[in-house]
Amino acid sequence: MPGWSCLVTGAGGFLGQRIVQLLVQEKDLEEIRVLDKVFRPETREKFFNIGTNIKVTVFEGDILDAQYLRRACQGISVVIHTAAIIDVTGVIPRQTILDVNLKGTQNLLEACVQASVPAFIFCSSVDVAGPNSYKEIIMNGSEEEGHESTWSDPYPYSKRMAEKAVLAANGSILKNGGRLHTCALRPMYIYGERSPFLANIIISSLKNKGILGVIGKFSIVNPVYVGNVAWAHILAARALRDPKKSPNIQGKFYYISDDTPHQSYDDLNYTLSKEWGFHLDSSWSLPLPLLYWLAFLLETVSFLLSPVYRYRPLFNRHLVTISNSKFTFSYKKAQRDLGYEPLVSWEEAKQKTSEWIRTLVKQHRETLDTKSQ
């Protein structure tokens, strides 16, 4: 394969940075363009000191700016699109989520057509498949089973519609007469060092004497380590560029999990942090059906108050459902079509994440010591 170039959107994020770290090891890669709305100074510096001969170009701007995207896509061989707003609690306005996750993806697809980019990989989410009810049980589900979320909440809806747009764009005629080839990856819940979700849980727990907040004690899920999700994106990029493999994956989506044991969200948090003195909350909690209907009541109050006051419930039915369902998926199809095998074992992923949690605990204690002086 001749020299190629890759654009990674959301490159300053939790997953985006990992993808860039793996991309620099790719053969014949001449340029990586990293794109995000804003890069932290330390992230920007990390990209500039990445220790490779590959050219790294930083693009900082809005995914809703069509001209900016076209400029970023010019001369690119592969786009890996991870930029998204992830919000399942209702903090961020619905329109903002729809604009970034759906309109931003549509803008990027159009930029690829105009700039004649032949390959597009979309980081989707298991949320586009459901679960639609906490009573629904899916264990080791597959792509062929056709699971689809029916939630109208902005995050699952925007990701579902964006994925449909990406897969429908497969085969689009490019400005230079070539064709655009697309695929989508649906990772499970992603954990690992520098996870913003996990960091929030740990910091909140440190303020609560090391008691881990209840997230989803009734769930059975198969979380996936961030390094393995990043690796799947690299393999998808290789496959879309390979004339032999590409026809098999064009216009298709793949579930991405790994060998992390099936467990509840609460058990995962405890397993990763128990070495540093964290423990599960043993206090009584509401039964799941009651929790669900309480969420419905809070949503109703929020809706009734909306003309005069923006009330955001602490939780909603979508959050209760995704946090407490038995919902796992196999990576066999990705294994068959992409050659995907987890790069990092469960034991190694657990160790790396636990070590990172130790640094959070240390930072927290140092902050407390400084304040007490």
Q: What is the DSSP string of 340-364?
A: ---SS-HHHHHHHHHHHHHHHHHHH
Q: Given this model, what pLDDT does residue 2 score?
A: 62
Neighbours of 117 (CB within 10 A): 26
Within the chain, which residues score under 50 in pLDDT? 1
CA–CA separation, 78 and 249 (whole Å): 15
Query: Is-catalytic flag, 68?
Result: no
Which pLDDT does position 24 carry in this prediction? 92
**Orientation angle between helical segments 66-73 and 104-115, nearest 10 degrees:** 50
Structure tokens that stand for 258 in this block: 């790994």
Which helix (H) or strand (E) segment holds residue 212: the answer is strand 211-212
The confidence score (pLDDT) of residue 373 equals 64
Q: Which of 68, 134, 155, 225 is catalytic?
A: 155
Nearest one of 263, 81, 68, 37 to 169, comparing CA atoms: 81
pLDDT digits (tens, 9 = 90+) for 89-133: 889 999 999 999 999 999 999 999 999 999 999 999 999 999 999
CATH code 1.10.287.3510 for 4-194+222-261+328-344? no
Tell me whether residue 165 is exposed, middle or buried, using C-beta atoms within 10 angstroms of its C-beta: 0 to 12, 13 to 18, 19 or more: middle
Which residue has 């109703």 as its token pair? 300
pTM, entire model: 0.95
| 35 and 59 Cβ atoms separated by less than 8 Å | yes
pLDDT (0 to 100) of residue 74? 97
